[in-house]
Amino acid sequence: MRPIIPALAGIDAALGARLPVVNAPQPARMSQRPAEVDLRVSVGSLQLKNPIIAASGTFGYGVEFAPLVDLSGLGAIVVKGLSVQPMEGAPAPRICETSSGMVNAIGLQNIGVRAFVAEKLPELRRLEATVVANVFGCTIADYVEVIRILEDADGVAAYELNISCPNVEHGGAEFGVDPVLTAEVVRAARNAAKRPLWVKLSPNVNRIGLTAQAAESNGADALVIANTYPALCMDAHNRRSRLGSTTGGLSGPAIKPITMRLVYEAAKVIKIPIIGLGGIESPEDIAEYVLAGATAVQVGTAHFVDPRATERLVGGLERWCKDNRAPEISKLRGSIEVAGTGSR
């Protein structure tokens, strides 16, 4: 992974701060694509023009990247997590670069769902972006209320349920590490939502299949695998953490092999689509996730190296498919061959 560029690290794009546009080039439009390559994928009932999605927390609210990226050319964008009320987030510093990745502790800072609907969503509609709203809360009622508010708004294609949050009603246990809690929050969200419901799973489980099945059986239309991994970055000179909140979440290329195993394991026990998330920087990374069982992917930490990462990957994946005689990316899904057996 290339170093995080100072400009992005300084403004902390993960906070939703607006990217500087001085001297910024015009948005790069998608180049002409070979007719024989089909990047379209179906995530449940939602049809995407390609499998490349900007991940929540790394792409602001989407509008910040509009001067640099043609949002309409991406498969979708997942906006910063939305809560019922605005949240200030964790104390600074919030990001620490590590070997082959980064650790962040943003603390779910956001403007609140009502401000998002009033201030950000109209512009996203104008830009013709496919918008997925990331939803979180500390109680099941919180999740339901955010969805209720979004249900009355135009321009949201689907919801992404972030269940890596502590449930204050159950002693702080994460919704995503207990299949029973997972079932409860997904069922409540499903009852509240008319739009497609994606569930973003926590990697902090012994058997990803159990939570995957709990989400599927209670109404999830797709799963996002997975969130970041708990981590700690130390400064030996001052004997303190490099983050204001002490611990954070590890993302980037370092986690890709671990997360890909989770995708592979979940794909063996569920039927709904999987969206792979973790360490994607190249077209080959995308192809590997698809081979492991993913229908689509989300790109996150790569935006801190290259704000145009998602757009670059659309063209790169198209060339990869052409070079590797894969005219339809969807047909690669789950086609991994098990060593020594020739089976999949």
**3-class DSSP string for the chain:** CCCCCHHHHHHCHHHCCCCCCCCCCCCECCCCCCCCCECCEEECCEEECCCEEECCCCCCCCHHHCCCECHHHCCEEECCCECCCCECCCCCCCEEEECCEEEECCCCCECCHHHHHHHHHHHHHHCCCCEEEEECCCCHHHHHHHHHHHHCCCCCCEEEEECCCEEHHHCCEECCCCHHHHHHHHHHHHHHCCCCEEEECCCCCCCHHHHHHHHHHCCCCEEEECCCEEEECEECCCCEECCCCCEEEEECHHHHHHHHHHHHHHHCCCCCCEEEECCCCCHHHHHHHHHHCCCEEEECHHHHCCCCHHHHHHHHHHHHHHHCCCCEHHHHCCCCCCCCCCCC
Beta-carbon contacts of residue 236 (< 8 Å; ≥ 6 apart): none
The Cα 276–Cα 259 span in angstroms is: 8
Catalytically annotated residue among 96, 138, 165, 321 = 165
Closest CA to 158 of 147, 170, 142, 169: 147
165 is catalytic: yes
The Cα 7–Cα 312 span in angstroms is: 19
The Cα 47–Cα 235 span in angstroms is: 46
The Cα 124–Cα 141 span in angstroms is: 27
Positions annotated as catalytic residues are 165
